[in-house]
Amino acid sequence: MRCKKCGRAAVINMRQYKLALCETHYVGWIQAQTERYIHEYQMFSRDERVLVAVSGGKDSLALWEVLLDLQYQVDGLYIDLGIGGDAGYSDQSLGKIRQFLAGRPTAARLHVIDLEEEYGATITEAARLTRRGKAKPCSVCGLIKRHVMNRVARQGGYDVLATGHNLDDEAAVLFGNTMQWQIGYLARQAPVLPASAEGLARKVKPFCRFHERETAAYALVRGIDYLYEECPYAVGASSIRYKIVLSEMERNSPGTKLQFYLGFLRARKAGAFEGAAETRPEMRPCRMCGQPTTAGDQCAFCRLWETVDARRSSQ
């Protein structure tokens, strides 16, 4: 396979675009497409400060690098959830991020929030004590990550929070929400989620139109060493099953995932889910942390830690 632009050996063939590219042209393509999506969805400008949430995986590290190369003002945030104990999943993730930074002498700054140090328990412990997570802490984890990301963005004076969600992630979430007709969730799934209340950060997903194999190829070409393993608690998650089904469809018919996602965005833009968005309860600041919440005067995050403290002292 030859590069469509220069005829050298191609490193990737993107069947859905009928486009094969060499190393140099592929890196240029990823950068140009990212820039295009940032403009198209009005994500942020070069005057704004961006906080990119990095997990140690390929997508978020690649995103951080592309945004730095494109001269955006971007710092990183890693939330250490304490999964797997010493030298376990969380420690290895942080190790990959530090390694990434060591090899790239830039002005970028990394914020690290250690859950156990700051709030007194790891995610595993918090889920066990609240029994919210039953066997798996994933729902507690989602709640905690959302809150901490928003808190750091707000306190650090960042205008926008970026995550590394790719097309495979977005198509799988869309598939799940459509299977269950979760209209409220569908109304809020988008490349940009505006700050819906004072004290909430705008959330953006600049990689939402890249396939997972495309971000993996970018990381490989650029020598980004990332953590291959998924979170140990993700095993058996429905999103992984949806990804397998969608990838099977993509194999038979290249372009399926993109068509599914872009068709949804068009329907959303045309107002297909407008009614659902309006039925959200009003946001008010939490009396403990000040972050806007729809859950009355105390947010779900503060309630969670109150329960953790109470259960721990009664044990």
Residues of this chain that bind Zn ion (CB under 5 A): 3, 5-6, 22, 25, 286, 288-289, 299, 302
Is residue 111 a contact point for ligand AMP (CB under 6 A)?
no
Whole-number Å distance between alpha carbons of 269 and 141: 30
Do the Cβ atoms of 115 and 81 come closer than 8 Å? Answer: yes
Binding mask of the shown chain, residues 17 to 36, with x at each position contacting ligand AMP by CB under 6 A = --------------------
Whole-number Å distance between alpha carbons of 29 and 21: 9
Q: Please pick, from the candidates 3, 12, 22, 77, the single residue that binds ligand AMP as defined by CB under 6 A.
A: 77
Whole-number Å distance between alpha carbons of 41 and 53: 19
Query: For residue 130, what are the contacts with CB-CB under 8 A and spacing of at least 6?
Result: 140, 304, 307, 308, 311
Positions in the binding site for ligand FES (CB under 6 A): 81, 137-138, 141, 231, 233-234
Is residue 79 a contact point for ligand AMP (CB under 6 A)?
yes
Q: How many helices (H) and strands (E) does the chain have?
A: 13, 10
Alpha-carbon torsion 183, 144, 192, 28, what sign? negative
Decide which of ligand AMP, Zn ion, ligand FES, none touches 138; Cβ closer than 5 to 8 Å per partner kind.
ligand FES
Closest approach of ligand AMP to the CB of residue 99, in Å: 16
Decide which of ligand AMP, ligand FES, Zn ion, none touches 25; Cβ closer than 5 to 8 Å per partner kind.
Zn ion
Decide which of ligand AMP, Zn ion, ligand FES, none touches 5; Cβ closer than 5 to 8 Å per partner kind.
Zn ion
Q: Please pick, from the candidates 75, 169, 214, 250, the single residue that binds ligand AMP as defined by CB under 6 A.
A: 169
Whole-number Å distance between alpha carbons of 71 and 106: 11
Q: Which is nearer to ligand AMP, 21 or 204 (CB)?
A: 204
Decide which of ligand FES, Zn ion, ligand AMP, none touches 163; Cβ closer than 5 to 8 Å per partner kind.
ligand AMP
Decide which of ligand FES, Zn ion, ligand AMP, none touches 288; Cβ closer than 5 to 8 Å per partner kind.
Zn ion
Of 188, 174, 87, the closest CA to residue 146 belongs to 188
Closest approach of ligand FES to the CB of residue 156, in Å: 22
Q: Which is nearer to ligand AMP, 10 or 169 (CB)?
A: 169
Burial of 9 (0-12, 13-18, 19+ CB in 10 A): exposed
Strand partners, 2: 9
With tokens 């992984």, the residue in question is: 240
Closest approach of ligand FES to the CB of residue 178, in Å: 24
Helix axes 58-69, 89-102, angle to 10 degrees: 20
Q: Which residues bind ligand AMP (CB under 6 A)?
A: 53-55, 59-60, 77-79, 81, 145, 163-165, 169
